[in-house]
Chain A
Amino acid sequence: MTVILPRKDVVIVGLGWTGSILAHELTEEGLDVVAIERGPWRDTATDFNIGYAQDELRYAIRRDLFLQPVVEAMTMRNNTTQTALPMREYGSFLPGNGVGGAGVHWNGHTWRFWDTDFQISDHLNQRYGGDRVQELQLQNWGVSASELETYYDKFEYLAGISGKAGNIKGQIQPGGNPFEDPRSRDYPLPPMQMTYAPTLFAEVTKSLGLHPFPTPAANMSKDYINPLGIAMGQCTMCGFCERFGCANYSKSSAQTTILPVLMKKKNFEVRTDSEVLRVELDASKKNARGVTYVDTSGQEYFQPADMVLLCAYGLHNVRLMLLSGIGQPYDPNTGEGTVGRNYCYQTNAGAQVFFDDKNFNPFVAAGALGQTVDDYNGDAFDHGGLDFVGGAGINCIPTNGRPIQTRPTPPGTPRWGKDWKQATVNAYKSTLSFSSQGSSYPTRGNYLDLDPQYNDRFGRPLLRVTFDFPDNDIRMSNWVSDRMEDIAKTFGGKQYVNTRRKKGWDSVPYQSTHNTGGAIMGADPKTSAVNKYLQSWDVSNLFVIGASAFAHNAGKNPTGTVGALAYHTADAIRQQYLRNPGQPLVSA
């Protein structure tokens, strides 16, 4: 028997970054909001206790904070000729779980995408002609960087980002990223104090004529009090960010920036350990009635609501749409349909330089403490004589020197025994790593749908990920790897290793939890699932918020753009939607 609950104004699926932002904004509007979160309640002192928060075995190896496949697995294949098989363990990417979502255990790199990203199809067609992008399914996002500027700004001030502006109102700022679009003001906090490796990286790249700048970080360079009045502490550079909750209130997350205010509101409630099974539609299929969810005892509930906001991880947003019959599923054979379309990832490669005489103290680190060069990112450079589009940020961000996983050894080192031990001792302190984080552009064959064979514990089909690195992206990554080789040589170490990206996406080794697309935004309902305000084209009282809305992925971490889009959506709901509820904000 499904228990029918009293109606709410808004039901939010998932209480991570976007769910918390939307909940805060809409409760400010006086709406009665409930968030339904699949995972547990989590808070700093009680769950990221300073006494055990830095347990590498528990959190990094056994992945205590992440979604476990027993709760929800996915199937994967590289192309439509293959049969997808379930990932028995998450590897290539690690979705979050619980209050705060992946925002709990991120590193904190907080980027803005560029206007050339938002207008990518028009821009690249105009600059290089249609032939160049023929193999790709590039689409404009339906927004511009200038429209999103105020929302990026809002997120960066909420989260207390440490950084150096490169372009304030068109004025290029020395020491910042000269390739970024104009921003209205500098970051709320100055850059973090640099450690040795990124300092050296900046010197070397500068000597090559590149433009290094401090990576914008959600790790606090100073004590900070955000616009909601919530205080955060200066980062201690303990080197336990990615895969860990922060014990020191030093890394921005829903817990450290929003929840202390949100949780005290009388018109907000969160129900944890409760998994939404589907969005319920009315007979017209144009209106959501609410959501059905199940708690840990197996009891089902129907939560009626005037608005439904999907704020789960992007992949889960897409799956919930498919499970609920919202929108037309994407068909890779015809290129038609919207839900599941333009799934993208991240095209990464790495380099290591081994020295004899340097001590980088890699344990003094923070998740986003480093330097980046964007000279080869996006369309910052002329692709005229090249055989690809897109690019990569090159980052020297030594996020940690944790004892189990930080074991660099130079080529030729035995895999075990006395010599391996000696080599790890030598190389631990004296190895510098940097990496390229490359764009991922959509193709017709990379997409998300429901698996025809494998189900979850409730009998619902798993999400099927069909993905391989497009040839364009491989060419791009290799070209950037050549540039990284130039940089590696200039360091003058005794040896370097350049690890290149190859075709054949493998779901086992960790690569990136930057899964984007599947419910993309755009101006055309035929090729996008949501409009520029992330409102479903098909179900007007449903908004789908997250990286699922990205029409492609840039060579940058997604969270800054996810935050900006969340504020953009919240503003549209507050300023426009609520005046005329249930109506499309953009007419098709």
Chain B
Amino acid sequence: MKTLLLPLTLSALSLSGSLALAQAPDQADEIIRGRYQAVLTDCAACHTAPGGKPLSGGLPLHTPFGDLVPPNITPDKETGIGDWTKEEFRSALKEGVGHGGKRLYPAMPYPAYTKMSDMDVDNLWSYIRTVEPVHNAVEANQLPFPFNIRTAMLGWNMLNFTPGDFKPDPGKSEQWNRGAYIVQGAGHCGTCHTPKNLTGADKDGVALQGASLQGWYAPNITSNSHIGIGAWSDDEIVQYLKTGQNSHSIASGPMREAVQESTSMMTDGDLKAIAVYLKSVDGGPDDKPKAVAADDAHMKAGALIYHDTCSACHGLEGKGASQLFPALAGSPLVQQPSAETLTHLVLYGSQGATTPAARTTPAMPSLGWRLNDQQVADVLTYIRNSWGNAAAAVAPADVKDKR
């Protein structure tokens, strides 16, 4: 085992960067490594339903093309992947072709996982073999015609999919390459944060610059200093990913799950690598738009609503409170081109992430019953254009769409 692992480890060192593992190969058996790969890949986010047995099938994903249900990937022979081979698993993750040549839909992020090293995928396979087998039949494909024809993915792949391992950039640091490997590969950050084209594939040239999904807007997480995280220090990014909160923001919505199930369990080294990489990603123009004028009628209306309804927690200056109320002033999330997430938060409320290092689990109350579309639009316009913030005004029609 050791002799087999050693060359593999060395060859993958620049990718995995798991120095601790390389130094202590006797502890780092495949399953433990695989469990960490499951943290990076966050399989549970999709394949475990709330309250369900691990990896035994998840809640439907509502894609623009219809519903897909993340299948049971426990080692159950009948309803899970118990009769798959390691090669089939690798092919599923890296080529989008599963057991029996069945083509996967790219809601399963094989366009990202393809960048994973074979060793990492094989370790993940070893780990998944140890999960409790659960008998739970899931019909994954609930798409309408013609999207329900899996062979159509052959064409999709031709258009959108470039299989192949991550190619390290020798001009960059090992840390940067490790971060890029995780972000582009196992971490599949772009699955949510990269804008999509008409066929649902990542748009070229705008990676991680923010995208809409499932009623939320996954914000720009690039070096953009206005709407990205370019103004955050590496440590602040690490803190956010590790704890679910920092002085700028508190994770909520789908990112709450990503933090709780995945990033909070990553090593500090990997989180730092992710931070270094993200801060190097081009984030588009970061010149601030002109803020809506404070004497604009909607701003004035929004100010009154803010003082009445929001300021008790978020503060008159939008500064919030540590681990409890996210700051609004200077928040990139607040200033995204799309106010979809903000609208969701105001209409429906949301609970923040909970991690061992930040256990408060604060929640935003629903205010959709109290504020009409115009009022929600006005207060959002106000917070997006106060205390130095600047972003497009929000229209009542945008709010109406979210109800």
* Chain A contacts to B: CB under 8 angstroms: 43-46, 49-52, 223, 225, 228-234, 236, 238, 247-249, 260-261, 264
Contacts and interface: CB of A to CB of B under 8 A. Distances in A.
Interface string B316-329: 00000111110000
Contacts of B370: 51-52
Nearest to B363: A45
Given A51-B369, A51-B370, A45 B364 contact: yes
Contact of A229 (B309, B313, B358, B364): B358
Contact of B312 (A50, A223, A231): A50
A230 B322 CA distance: 11
The 3 A-B pairs with the shortest beta carbon distances in the complex, nearest first, are A45-B363, A231-B323, A45-B365
B359 A229 contact: yes
A231 B321 contact: yes
A233 B313 contact: yes
A260 B354 contact: yes
Q: Is the interface of A mostly helix, strand, loop or mixed?
A: loop
Nearest to A256: B360
B322 A45 contact: no
Contact of B367 (A51, A228, A261): A51
B168 interface: no
Interface string B93-115: 00000000000000000000000
A46 B362 CA distance: 11
Contacts of A43: 363
Interface in B346-379: 349, 351, 354, 357-367, 369-370
Contacts of A260: 354, 359-361
A430 B321 CA distance: 34
Nearest to B349: A45
A233 B363 CA distance: 13
B349 A229 contact: no
A50 B324 CA distance: 15
A248 B357 CA distance: 22
Q: Interface residue tally of chain B, by bracket?
A: 20 to 34
A225 B362 contact: no
A229 B360 contact: yes
Contact of B359 (A46, A228, A238): A228
27 contacts: A44-B365, A45-B362, A45-B363, A45-B366, A46-B363, A46-B365, A50-B313, A50-B367, A223-B322, A223-B324, A225-B323, A231-B322, A231-B324, A231-B360, A233-B321, A233-B325, A238-B312, A247-B312, A247-B313, A248-B312, A248-B313, A249-B313, A249-B360, A260-B354, A260-B359, A260-B361, A264-B354
Contacts of A234: 321
Contacts of B357: 229
A231 B362 contact: yes
A248 B320 CA distance: 11
A233 to B, nearest CB: 5
Contacts of B309: 50-51
A109 B359 CA distance: 26
Contacts of B363: 43-46
B362 A249 contact: yes
Contacts of A249: 313, 324, 360, 362
A509 B349 CA distance: 39
Contact of B365 (A49, A223, A228): A49
Contacts of A229: 357-360
B347 to A, nearest CB: 12
Chain A CB within 10 A, most for which of B349, B363, B367, B369:
B363
Given A238-B312, A260-B360, A51 B321 contact: no
Contacts of B349: 45-46
Interface string B298-325: 0000000000010011000000011111
Contacts of A261: 359
Q: Is the interface of B mostly helix, strand, loop or mixed?
A: loop
Contacts of A45: 349, 351, 362-366
B365 A230 contact: no
A261 B355 CA distance: 10
A324 to B, nearest CB: 35
Chain A CB within 10 A, most for which of B322, B357, B361, B369:
B361
A249 B369 CA distance: 21
Contacts of B312: 50, 236, 238, 247-248
Interface in B366-398: 366-367, 369-370
Interface in B36-80: none
A50 B365 contact: yes
A261 B360 CA distance: 8
Nearest to B325: A233
Nearest to B313: A248
A266 to B, nearest CB: 12
Contacts of A236: 312
Contacts of A247: 312-313, 365
A45 to B, nearest CB: 3
Contacts of A228: 359
B366 A49 contact: yes
Contacts of A223: 321-322, 324
A231 B360 CA distance: 6
A500 to B, nearest CB: 39
Contacts of B321: 223, 231, 233-234
Contacts of B325: 233
Contacts of A230: 359-360
Contact of A225 (B322, B366, B369): B322
A248 B313 CA distance: 6
Nearest to B369: A51
Contacts of B323: 225, 231
A223 B247 CA distance: 14
A544 to B, nearest CB: 30
Nearest to B323: A231
A41 to B, nearest CB: 13
A49 B313 CA distance: 12
Given A231-B322, A233-B324, A249-B362, 10 more contacts: A44-B365, A45-B364, A46-B363, A46-B365, A49-B366, A50-B313, A51-B370, A225-B323, A231-B324, A233-B313
B245 to A, nearest CB: 9
Contacts of B361: 260
B251 to A, nearest CB: 15
Contacts of A44: 362-363, 365
A417 B325 CA distance: 46
Nearest to A263: B361
Nearest to B355: A229
A44 B312 CA distance: 14
A260 B362 CA distance: 9
Interface in B328-356: 349, 351, 354
B336 to A, nearest CB: 23
A545 B354 CA distance: 30
A207 to B, nearest CB: 36
Contacts of A233: 313, 321, 324-325
Chain B CB within 10 A, most for which of A49, A223, A228, A231:
A231
Chain A CB within 10 A, most for which of B360, B362, B363, B366:
B360
Contacts of B365: 44-46, 49-51, 247
Contacts of A238: 312
Nearest to B366: A49
Chain A CB within 10 A, most for which of B321, B351, B359, B369:
B321
Nearest to B312: A236
A245 B365 CA distance: 14
Nearest to A51: B370
Nearest to B370: A51
A241 B365 CA distance: 18
B52 to A, nearest CB: 15
Contacts of A49: 365-367
Nearest to A234: B321
A535 B190 CA distance: 58
A260 to B, nearest CB: 4
A55 to B, nearest CB: 12
Contacts of B313: 50, 233, 247-249
Contacts of B367: 49-51
